[in-house]
Amino acid sequence: MSHSHTDQEAHNAEAMAEIKKVTIILSVFTIIELMLGFWMMSMTSVALKLAIKGTIVILMMAKAFYIVAYFMHLKHEVKNLIMTIIVPLLLFVWFISAFLWDGSSFRNLRNDYDPHFKEQATIKVEQKEEAHGASKQEAAETKHESLAPTKETSKPEPTPYY
Amino acid sequence: MSTTTTASPNEAKLWGGGKSPFNSEYGKVMMWYFLMSDAFTFGAFLISYGTVRFSTNGWPNSNEVFRSFPFAPDGVHAPLVFVSIMTFILIISSVTMVLAVHAGKNMDKSGVVRNMILTIIGGLAFLSCQAWEWNHLHSEGAWWGMNPFLNADGTASTTNFTNFFFTITGFHGFHVFSGVVINIIMLIMTLLNKFEQRGHYLMIEKAGLYWHFVDLVWVFVFTIFYLL
Amino acid sequence: MSHEAALHEGHGHEEHGHHEHHDTFLTKYVFSQDHKMIAKQFLITGMVWAVLGGLMSVLFRLQLGYPDASFPWLESLLGKWAKGGQITPEAYYALVTTHGTVLVFFVLTAGLSGTFANFLIPLQVGARDMASPFMNMLSYWFFFTASVIMMSSLFVETGPFSGGWTAYPPLSALHDASPGSKTGMDLWIISMALFVVSSLLGGLNYIATILNMRTKGMSMTRLPLTIWALFFTAVLGVLSFPVLLSGMILLIFDRNFGTSFYLSDIYVNGVGALSNEGGSAILFQHLFWFLGHPEVYIILLPAMGMVSEIMSVNSRKPIFGYMAMLGSLFAIAILAFLVWAHHMFVTGLNPFLGSVFVLLTLLIAVPSAIKVFNWLTTLWRGNIRFTPGMLFAIGFVSLFISGGLTGIWLGNAALDIYLHDSYFVVAHFHIVMGVASMFGMFAGVYHWFPKMYGRYLNNTLGYVHFWITIAGAYMIFWPMHYQGLAGMPRRYFDFSIWESFKQFAELNRFISTVAMIVFATQILFLINFFYSIFKGRKVTVLNPWESNTLEWTTPIRPGHGNWPGEIPEVYRWPYDYGKDGHDFIPQTTPVGADETGTH
């Protein structure tokens, strides 16, 4: 091997610097994500919320990239190994889009053809504040006993099937 | 080995047989493909979560669900705080794991031992946090098949929010747990000088890949459950 | 790093070939780590399952062909499942379900790719063994455990799962949905989970071996097509089985822990019948078919690879379009992941999304057609040797064409509205996936039996086996197309009560009779197989088929480590047949100075 001792040391320092850099990047990204999360809580505009969610997803992907590329060392592997891992992961694009697409389509179909399903989404459960206040425990328990709350309003008590 | 050869003969040498085209032993190749496969397991879970969320009218607001903090009085609402601590624990344990792998490459046994211990502590800390959070949510009435939380718009929710939360974080926690077990085994093997005798710390590297993957999954779980 | 060191690194088992192992019975035949023994274990377990699964089909065909007849022997065989000598509807559904599960997963996945990936990969790439022989052994024993659990589900009080091999909820998610949804379904899930682990251990091993353990000179484009096919099979398995595992885990929670991932809502007499609801049954179908469709190719690709190899050897011609074959394998592997929802056109899938899936589905016709034409052109003007293995390979191509063409019909969402869940579908997938892969498996067994056991299978029995099986396969499944077009639905217990389906009574009886004859012929094959292991004609030459690939350079009965001396080096691709006046030039022959067009 042609590496001299000083080469090794330089290499070490380089690697440590890289680890430090990635740690800082990951932390900063996480903090930005959290800040966006806090900001989003007080927000009412749906479009802006969506934009922030998009930003968070991008940050998530960036974090994933840094973990895989540097912590898992993939960036320093042979290019072919990188390709054999990245290319199959591209399947996720269609995996995600088809599933989510059909998920929202299922909701739309039911909203169109299942009046009960749609009605449920408009009935507000009362005592919302209470449910999250001091008597949270009790509220949770009563909820548990009748697990299909809105159905009571429109139909007789369900008989459990099993 | 010369590093100045041009690309194409290098390529032919890599793929010509008689050696690994990736310059890595089979264990690491297998570990990578195992992780890829596991990514599909987690992917399927998270995508299922997305699908069900997309096919439901209304969904609980995670900031109203995950807003407690250990030892804080009941009225204190601190959304995102506890989970950010969990996230940082996992990031830091990932960093110590990188340092352990790095020390292993330099055949620095004491460095490996130190960083492995730190990684294990990080893993256990994460698991403890998760145990607290699960316990707390359970005390609020949330469990598989039980969801005390209303939708963000005040309508009744289905149980799928908690169903998915416990399933996916549980599956991730199971991975963290097995990661901790693997790391403890690696630590013992290091202390027994197994890797010194072998002349390489490749096992630490493979355990590291697994551990980082666990961290990677948390990046997604954290974002999807707590932020989106 | 010196070259020798690099070579050595890639072959961790170098030393294994040199010293003799002193194996006990247990380490040689049971917990063997030799890939060849594991392959035989997979093969024989697969054959046991094939017989059982085939027997099940005979039993339910008996019901379909003779719905009014009573067979007292059935009652003594099945007890309460065949009261009065007639199969009960519950038993019928259990048989259909188990037949599907067993044939798809245990026979055509484990039995086919488990056998031949284990057997051929190290031999054909030039390795002493798999990358991790221990994981390889685990892979078999996980499969075996899965088998035992599936087998035990046949004997529980409420019977095995009976909701179809696709295990759609709510039948699979509710304990009370059907008798088989109780313990039978639990065992089914556990068995499938273990099977996923087995296929994962196996698949990772196959991939790592093919990538890392190739002998010197064996570049990727010098690999036989069998290896390429098995490689893509392993990739498909590694990427798609985890999704099934996730789906199964969610299913377990739905069954036992009160969740409702897959349960949207069920009403009985206007009353909600579920304590938990709000999920999506379509989600399970998506998850299942995200595995399920690649699974079809996990079954088909090994057969395709072996057929390519066997055809080239027995036509004494190079495979036509090696790179096109590779490209089409790759295209099929990619497309396999993009088309899953064509199994779900009428389940409430978004119609527009469905049309995207139609487009992607029909694209598969392109690589499939490339493969078919390449096989035909490989045969064209070849000096064909009609060995039983070759006949089965040709039979595979025939079946692949006949079954594949109906796939183009079914891939159309509009046509599928009419054809779905009819016998047309049954005919389609049995021909293209079931029988065709079975033919690939038979071809492989006939071709590599001499390497496996050092003896030949009986040729005459092989010819009888082939001709009855292919004629029978067409006689069974061809009429089903007509039945399906006439609207006859699949998974029905008894058609005799409908006026419109009564006209098919004769045809059903004909199909059932042929099915029994074909099943009996498979018994003939089994007799041939087990007889030949012990009493068959001995192989006396190293290379009985005059083939180029590396496995024929090993001793007639290779030991653990495959080659007694050095692993041979490879200098050319495996398809140098009829080149420069030579009938065949093995891969180990160095390239001559005046040779033209080498690979």
* Dist CA B71 CA B68 (whole Å): 9
In this predicted structure, what is the pLDDT of residue A157? 46
| Spatial contact of C440 and C302, defined as CB atoms under 8 Å apart | yes
Tell which of C185, C350, C357, C363 to mutate to test the A interface (max A CBs under 10 Å): C350
Instruction: Return the HEC string of C477-514.
Output: HHHHHHHHHCCCECCCCCCCCCCCCHHHHHHHHHHHHH
Q: How far apart are CA C15 and CA C18, in angstroms?
A: 6
Three-state secondary-structure class, residue B93: helix
Rounded mean pLDDT of A64-83? 90
Tell me, yes or no, whether A91 lies in a domain: no
Structural contact between residues B24 and A76, judged by C-beta atoms closer than 8 angstroms? no
Q: Is A89 on the interface with C (CB under 8 A)?
A: no
Calculate the average pLDDT of chain A: 79
Q: Is C260–B36 a contact, with Cβ atoms under 8 angstroms apart?
A: no
Taking CB atoms and an 8 Å cutoff, what residues of chain C touch A105?
Answer: 349-350, 353
**Residue B87 at interface with chain A, using a CB cutoff of 8 Å:** yes
Question: Nearest Cα to B226, choosing from B156, B161, B175, B129?
Answer: B161
Sign of the CA dihedral B32, C198, C210, C31?
positive
pLDDT at residue C3 in the model? 37
Compute the C-alpha angle C3/C9/C12, nearest 5°.
140
CB contact under 8 A, B80 and A34: yes
Nearest CA in chain C to B12: C219
- What is the count of structural domains for chain A? 1
Sign of the four-CA dihedral C536, C540, C546, C550: positive
CA C110 to chain centre: 7
Q: Mention every residue, 6+ apart, whose C-beta is less than 8 A from residue C503.
A: none
Taking the C-alpha atoms of residue B219 and residue A25, their distance in angstroms, rounded to an integer, is 14
Nearest to C399 by CA among C419, C381, C367, C375: C375
Q: Does domain B24-227 have CATH number 3.40.50.300?
A: no
Q: Parse chain C into domains and list their residue ranges.
A: 31-264+277-584
The minimal CB distance from A99 to the residues B32, B51, B216 is found for: B51
Q: How far apart are CA C188 and CA C181, in angstroms?
A: 10
Higher-pLDDT residue of B132 and B11 is: B132
Q: Compute the count of residue pairs across chains B and C with CB atoms less than 8 Å apart.
A: 151
Q: Which two tokens stand for residue B32?
A: 């990578």
| A74 located within any domain | yes
Percent of chain A at pLDDT exceeding 90: 46
DSSP conformation class of C539: P
pLDDT for C22: 64
Q: Residue range A25-50: average pLDDT?
A: 90
The Cα of A23 is separated from the nearest Cα of chain C by a number of Å equal to 30
Smallest Cβ–Cβ distance between C287 and the set B1, B18, B44 belongs to B44
Say whether residue B174 is in contact with chain C using an 8 A CB cutoff. Answer: no
Q: Which helix (H) or strand (E) holds C268?
A: strand C267-268
| Residue A138, domain member (yes or no) | no
What confidence score (pLDDT) does residue B22 get?
A: 85
SS3 B31: helix
Q: What are the start-end ranges of the H helices in B192-226?
A: 194-198, 202-222
Q: How far is CA C246 from CA B37, C146, C148, C250, C283, in A?
A: 12, 17, 22, 6, 12
Q: Report the pLDDT value the prediction gives residue B44, as an integer from 0 to 100.
A: 96
Residue that has been written with the tokens 């029994």 in this structure:
C516
- The CA distance from C495 to C177, in Å, is 23
CA distances from C517 to A34, C121, C476, C477, C480 (A): 69, 35, 10, 14, 17
Q: Which domain range does residue A27 map to? A: 1-78
Distance CA B114, CA B103 (A): 10
Specify if A24 maps to a domain.
Answer: yes
Give the nearest partner residue to C253 out of B37, B158, B167, using CB atoms: B167
Which helix or strand (DSSP H or E) is residue C577 part of? strand C577-579
Residues 75-94 on A with a CB inside 8 Å of B are 77-78, 80-81, 85, 88-89, 92
| Segments in C102-224 forming alpha helices (H) | 115-125, 133-153, 183-212
Backbone angles phi, psi at C272, to 5 degrees: -60, 130
pLDDT in tens, chain C (599 residues): 333 333 334 344 444 444 445 677 777 788 889 999 999 999 999 999 999 999 999 999 999 999 888 888 888 888 888 888 889 999 999 999 999 999 999 999 999 999 999 999 999 999 999 999 999 999 999 999 999 999 999 999 888 999 999 999 989 999 888 888 989 999 999 999 999 999 999 999 999 999 999 999 999 999 999 999 999 999 999 999 999 999 999 999 999 998 999 998 888 888 878 878 888 999 999 999 999 999 999 999 999 999 999 999 999 999 999 999 999 999 999 999 999 999 999 998 999 999 999 999 999 999 999 999 999 999 999 999 999 999 999 999 999 999 999 999 999 999 999 999 999 999 999 999 999 999 999 999 999 999 999 999 999 999 999 999 999 999 999 999 999 999 999 989 988 888 888 889 999 999 999 999 999 999 999 999 999 999 999 999 999 999 999 999 999 999 888 999 899 999 999 999 988 888 999 999 998 877 777 76
pLDDT for B66: 86
The H or E element that residue C272 is part of is strand C271-272
Question: In the prediction, which pLDDT does B25 show?
Answer: 85
Of the CA atoms within 13 Å of residue A1, those in its CB half-sphere come to: 5
In angstroms, rounded to a whole number, what is the distance separating the alpha carbons of residues A137 and A139? 5
Is C348 in Cβ contact with A106 (below 8 Å)?
yes
C543: tokens are: 């290379």
Residues of A in Cβ contact (< 8 Å) with B43? 92, 95-96
Q: Is residue C78 classed exposed, middle or buried when 0-12, 13-18 and 19+ CB atoms within 10 A define those classes?
A: middle
Residue A155 in contact with partner chain C when CB distance is under 8 A: yes
In this structure, are residues C178 and C93 in contact, taking their beta carbons and an 8 Å threshold? yes
More confident residue, A30 or A4: A30
Whether chain C has a CB inside 8 Å of the CB on B26: the answer is: yes
**Shortest CB distance from C353 goes to which of A102, A160, A161?**
A102
The answer to whether the beta carbons of residues C156 and C187 sit under 8 Å apart is yes
- Is C283 touching A (CB cutoff 8 A)? yes
Note whether B67 contacts A: Cβ–Cβ < 8 A.
no
Task: State the amino acid at position B136 in one-letter form.
Answer: H
Q: Which alpha helices (DSSP H) does A42-161 contain, by range?
A: 46-66, 79-89, 91-113, 115-120, 128-132, 136-145, 151-154
DSSP letter for each residue of C373-392: HHHHHHHTT------HHHHH
C212 CB neighbour count, 10 Å cutoff: 25
Q: Which tokens hold the place of A28?
A: 């900063």
CB C452 within 8 A of CB C536: no
Both structure tokens of B64 = 């109203």
Q: Please give the Cα distance from B138 to B147 (Å, whole number).
A: 10
> Tokens at residue B138, please?
């359970």
Question: For residue range B87-99, what is the model confidence (pLDDT) as tens digits?
Answer: 999 999 999 999 9
Pairing outcome for strands C271-272 and C582-584: unpaired
What pLDDT is attached to residue B12? 63
**Predicted local distance difference test score (pLDDT) of residue A88:** 92
Distance between CA atoms of residues B42 and A3, nearest Å: 41
Tell me, what's the pLDDT at C13? Answer: 41
Q: What per-residue confidence (pLDDT) applies to B137?
A: 93
- Which chain A residues touch C271 with a CB distance below 8 Å? 155-156, 158-159
Q: Does position B223 have pLDDT exceeding 50, yes or no?
A: yes
Residue from B3, B14, B144, B168 whose CB has the most chain C CBs within 10 Å, to mutate? B144
For residues C230 and C583, the answer to whether their CB atoms sit within 8 Å is no
The encoded tokens of residue C336 equal 């396999």
As a whole number of angstroms, the distance between CA C408 and CA C415 comes to: 10
Helices then strands, counting H and E runs in chain C, come out as 19, 4
**SS3 of residue C293 by DSSP:** helix
Determine the residue among A72, A80, A81 to mutate to test chain B binding: the one whose Cβ has the most chain B Cβ atoms within 10 Å. Answer: A72
| C350: nearest CB among A94, A101, A162 | A101
Q: Where along chain B do its domains lie?
A: 24-227
Q: Which helix (H) or strand (E) holds C579?
A: strand C577-579
| CATH number, domain C31-264+277-584, options 3.40.50.410, 1.20.210.10, 1.10.10.410, 2.70.98.30 | 1.20.210.10
Mean local confidence (pLDDT), B5-32: 76
Q: Higher model confidence: residue A58 or residue B68?
A: A58
